């Protein structure tokens, strides 16, 4: 099963051609564009047997749906997001190094894309979102992920609390993030299989999500700000887990 979407922008299209070229159906480039990188992408696509079409800029504007396309877009047969039934096997295959990022209610496409980028950089096992409370894999998400959307599995859970319980049954410890938590992130042991659970910026984690977590932690902020952007928080948490595991 797959659905056709558009990947726009030089880096996202480059990532698709590198990692998943068999799903790229067509490349569209702006007619008369003189960008050397766009020309290189077109040449590579032709070499891989992918149709390349020159078109007017307004046509690219339409398929980009608000994302900055830089004169190039790729029609992409995206796989359906994985379901929560895949989680137990993912955790088993990852073993002690399992590292999941769970986003409860992140609906801003730029935030979801940035979280996917950080998760890919940290070599996370998967990013988990609720099926009905996430933005979905839009062109803006893919653009913001800078190729991360093609490098880390995305799991869309029909029931997020049930998905979290599946992880717990597979031996994964769940750490939820809340500003009022008493324990600092740096005092939580993240060296074993773990999932980092973050809520939306406005409401945070939902009650059932919060209650399912094994631990609650906060990111210490000695400055004047009370909160961080969710994608920044996700990056801090992921790379703290990596720092601990280096030892």
Residues at the binding site for S-adenosyl-L-methionine are 199, 219, 228
CA-to-CA dists, residue 35 to 10, 25, 38, 157, 238, angstroms: 10, 22, 5, 40, 35
Backbone angle region of 101, left / alpha / beta, with phi > 0 → left and psi within -120 to 50 → alpha: beta
Residues making up the annotated binding site are 199, 219, 228
| Tokens representing residue 166 in the block | 């599946």
For residue 144, the tally of other CB atoms under 10 A from its CB is 24
148 Cβ neighbours under 8 A, 6+ residues apart: 113, 116, 117, 118, 119, 120, 121
């Amino acid at each position: 099963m797959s659905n056709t979407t558009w990947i726009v922008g030089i880096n996202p299209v480059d990532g698709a051609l590198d990692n998943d070229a068999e799903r790229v159906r067509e490349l569209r480039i702006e007619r008369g564009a003189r960008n050397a990188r766009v020309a290189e992408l077109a040449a590579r696509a032709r070499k891989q047997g992918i149709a390349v079409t020159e078109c007017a800029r307004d046509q690219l504007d339409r398929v980009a749906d608000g994302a900055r396309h830089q004169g190039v877009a790729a029609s992409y047969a995206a796989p359906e997001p994985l379901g929560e039934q895949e989680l137990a096997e993912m955790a088993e295959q990852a073993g002690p190094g399992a590292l999941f990022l769970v986003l409860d209610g992140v609906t801003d496409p730029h935030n979801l894309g940035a979280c996917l980028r950080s998760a890919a950089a940290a070599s996370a096992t998967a990013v988990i979102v609720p099926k009905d409370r996430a933005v979905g894999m839009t062109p803006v998400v893919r653009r913001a992920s800078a190729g991360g959307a093609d490098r880390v599995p995305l799991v869309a859970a029909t029931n997020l609390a049930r998905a979290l319980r599946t992880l717990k049954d597979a031996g994964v410890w769940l750490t939820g993030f809340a500003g009022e938590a008493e324990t600092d992130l740096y005092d939580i042991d993240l060296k074993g299989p773990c999932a980092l659970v973050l809520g939306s910026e406005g409401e945070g984690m939902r009650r059932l999500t919060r209650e399912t977590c094994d631990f609650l932690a906060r990111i210490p902020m000695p400055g004047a700000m009370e909160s961080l952007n969710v994608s920044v928080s996700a990056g801090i948490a992921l790379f703290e887990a990596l720092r601990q595991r280096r030892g």
